[in-house]
Amino acid sequence: MASIGTARGRIGFDEAGNGDALPILFLHGVGSDKSVWAPQLAHFGRSRRAIAFDYPGYGESEIVANATRDDYAAFILAGMDALGILRAHICGLSLGGVMAIALYAAAPDRCASLIIADSFAVHPDGQAIHDRSVAASQSMTMRELAEARSGALLGSVATLQLRNQVIDAMAQIDPVAYRIGAAAVWLADQRDRARTIDVPTLILVGEEDGITPPALSEELRNLITGSRMERIARAGHLANAEQPEAFNNAIESFLSGQPY
């Protein structure tokens, strides 16, 4: 784990690999941090530069009071600048998928392609999920919240080890940062932005995802011209961690069709 100073403040990141292939950038969900991408950094770092960032207030990143999802996007772009990354494939899960869309809206020339996993353009129950998340973060510790929520996050074959990792990561989140992140994800309505996306886009979703179910990924596919969608078998909301081999292979196949 490391951090770097940027024009927007200090940002935490993990990095693996190098090479001539275009870098791939990973963006985490509201209840995790950059560590959730360890299986992807290990895999993609063998062929290209792979980076996972923390949002403001997560991990090693400085908190930004009242940050919006567009502030998050500016923060990630500042991180890319600081690491000398002019352009990258952008992969985000849940809030990270929301951020991939926001990042494209802010700087389409910096996004070679998008991989949007277990996410959405707008969530039909977003306000209610947001309100429950905020209330829970105010009435219990983050570890208690994580223990209560972990069952809904994971699919039927997730291991106890993974469940404990998910709980440990979520327990470390600053509750103020978590509430900012909850607003960034659950209150998003980026349908208009999704319609403007004009880069190759892969949409991934766990077949057992009950938080952002496959129907929301289907809606994204219909909004983003030319996008393709794949379901990850035996995976819930954290498809990248639950089924890393299938998740990575889907991305590898997608990237193999790109010219960089």
Q: Residue 35 sits in a domain of what CATH number?
A: 3.40.50.1820
Number of domains, the chain = 1
Residue 259 pLDDT grade (very low, low, confident, very high; cuts 50, 70, 90): confident
Contact between residue 77 and residue 106 where contact means Cβ atoms under 8 Å apart: yes
Q: How do residues 78-105 score in pLDDT, each as one tens digit?
A: 999 999 999 999 999 999 999 999 999 9
Q: Give residue 258's pLDDT.
A: 80
Q: How do residues 23-82 score in pLDDT, each as one tens digit?
A: 999 999 999 999 999 999 999 999 999 999 999 999 999 999 999 999 999 999 999 999
Q: Give residue 179's pLDDT.
A: 98
Quick one: which of 46, 84, 71 has its CA closest to 184?
71
Q: How far is CA 157 from CA 154, 206, 225, 234, in A?
A: 8, 12, 34, 7
CB atoms within 10 A of CB 131: 13
Q: How far apart are CA 62 and CA 75, in angstroms?
A: 10
Q: How far apart are CA 235 and CA 93, in angstroms?
A: 13
Q: Give residue 19's pLDDT.
A: 85
pTM (2 decimals)?
Answer: 0.97
> Does the structure show a pLDDT above 90 at 260?
no
> Does the structure show a pLDDT above 90 at 257?
no
Q: How do residues 117-126 score in pLDDT, each as one tens digit?
A: 999 999 999 9
Q: Give residue 150's pLDDT.
A: 95
Print the domain residue range for 180.
Answer: 2-256
Residue 165 CB contacts under 8 Å (≥ 6 apart), including other chains: 241
